[in-house]
Amino acid sequence: MTTIRLGFPADWAGFRAAARALVAANTPPGQITWLVGDEPDLFADNTPPPANDAPITVPRRFVDLAETTIMANDPERFGLLYGILFRIHQGEAALLHDAADPAVHRALMLAHAVRRDIHKMRAFLRFREVTDDGGTRHVAWFEPAHHILEANAPFFVRRFATMAWSILTPDRAAHWDGTTLRFGPGATRADLPEDDRFAECWRVYYRAIFNPARLKLSAMLSEMPRKYWKNLPEARDIPELIAAAAPRAGAMLAAPPTPPRPARAPPAPVTDPPTTEWEALKRQAGACRLCPLWEHATQTVFGEGSTTARIMLIGEQPGDQEDLAGRPFIGPAGQVLDHALRAAGLDRPALYITNAVKHFKFEPRGKRRIHQKPNEAEIETCKFWLDQERAMIEPALIIALGASAARALFNRAITISRERGKLIPLNGATSALITIHPSYLLRLPDEAAKRREYAAFVRDLRLALPYMA
């Protein structure tokens, strides 16, 4: 017997060199024992592996298949792959085109399982933030079904290039310090730090996108198998969301459309006098008919918060929930905003938060009301109220969240990516800071982008800290 000892479970370079030499020496598959690391060798009468001195041609199709299949968590994979290579070399040139061949079929199935595992790791890996004497690092725990860490780590290097991170798995760990990628021994789940502030973000996000009327349990479980749940903060809410889905969907169907109120009578006159300037303004705005948006909205959503705030935040317009509750930023975007404000060290009650447009603009679609962006004329008209709020609050800093707010502030179209994250002098003692709208984060499809953009949002908001004083 010839024993080949590979360095680690997915040691492609080691397998490749050994397989080439073995094929060149015409060694039959049955004569080879494949071992990994320090696995014990049960055969004492070994012949040494042949030297790799004769060049052989290996079809590209085999390399592509073998590079993936070698990561499979199947102790037979090396023998399986070497067997296929040996047969190709013995003259079965078209072997890989025969998917019904048991060996080829097996290798293809294993490659498929490995690719799926790689995809799931990219989708379901969740970093947690740790700060210690060495600075801030991010640590994730993942239990891959196959030996995919080495192959997948470069993906995370590209995605999180500027972060220092470690990915811990039971067999190996990958560590990136911003410059170098290293692999080390495995770890246990107990080595994972406590939940961080992102965990709550994931939960808020998942609850916001979970549509009970669209729930298809089998499709959901196939996309997000239960075995990944224990590492996903948002999965804590899944049982409750599933349990409540049928009654919620039933209630959605039974409910009348969110009441658009055509041709409403003006609000009943309030007889008691306003006690503050803000209340007086809010009441006036409550009867606003400056543009047609009031007709279908439930009510004017005026700004709220501290009237002595040093910082004023401007959003775009109230959303569905804000329209019903009459308060700005209390729906999904508001929850993201609250998190980011806390992360930046800003205290929401000490701020004044308003919108560029004070009525919800939407398009009815079935029973839902779909947000529509306000147009220039609507922003321009509603600026009347924004200017009143500015004059009353006299903030030292105005933060424009997104393009509509920035347009209201600067009277022109603003490219957020170009202008964000810097302090811009306005008139008098007021400065402006432009950043993204938090609903942009809710729309991002994958975790990497979400994390990156959330961190950039918090960074922008931190520029406001000196104005809190």
Q: Interface residues with ligand URA (CB under 6 A)?
A: 315-319, 322, 328-329, 331, 333-334, 355, 439
CB of 361 to ligand URA, least distance (A): 11
Shortest reach from residue 315's CB to ligand URA, in Å: 3
**CA dist 214 to 200, 204, 220, 242, 320, Å?**
24, 18, 10, 11, 20
CB of 319 to ligand URA, least distance (A): 4
Closer CB to ligand URA, 175 or 368, in the complex: 368
Nearer Cβ to ligand URA, position 83 or 318? 318
CB of 334 to ligand URA, least distance (A): 6
> Nearer to ligand URA by C-beta: 147 or 296?
296
User: Cα separations (Å) of 125 from 168, 187, 229, 234?
Assistant: 10, 16, 11, 12
* Closer by beta carbon to ligand URA, 26 or else 372: 372
DSSP string, 301-323: ---EE-TT-SEEEEES---HHHH
Nearer residue to ligand URA within complex by CB, 83 or 331: 331
| Cβ proximity of 396 and 424 under 8 Å | no
What strand order describes the sheet that includes 172-176?
A: 128-132, 135-141, 165-168, 172-176, 181-185
Nearer to ligand URA, 198 or 329 (CB): 329
Task: State the residue number with the nearest CB to ligand URA.
Answer: 315
Please give the Cα distance from 85 to 90 (Å, whole number): 9
In whole angstroms, the minimum distance from the beta carbon of 303 to ligand URA comes to: 9
Q: Tell the smallest beta-carbon distance from residue 377 to ligand URA (Å).
A: 18
372 half-sphere exposure, CB direction, 13 A CA radius = 15
Which CB sits closer to ligand URA, 21 or 436? 436
Residue for token pair 């990219």: 122
DSSP reduced 3-state for 89: helix
Cβ atoms within 10 Å of 180's Cβ, excluding its own: 8
Least Å from the CB of residue 371 to ligand URA: 8
User: Quick one: how far is CA 137 from the chain centroid?
Assistant: 18
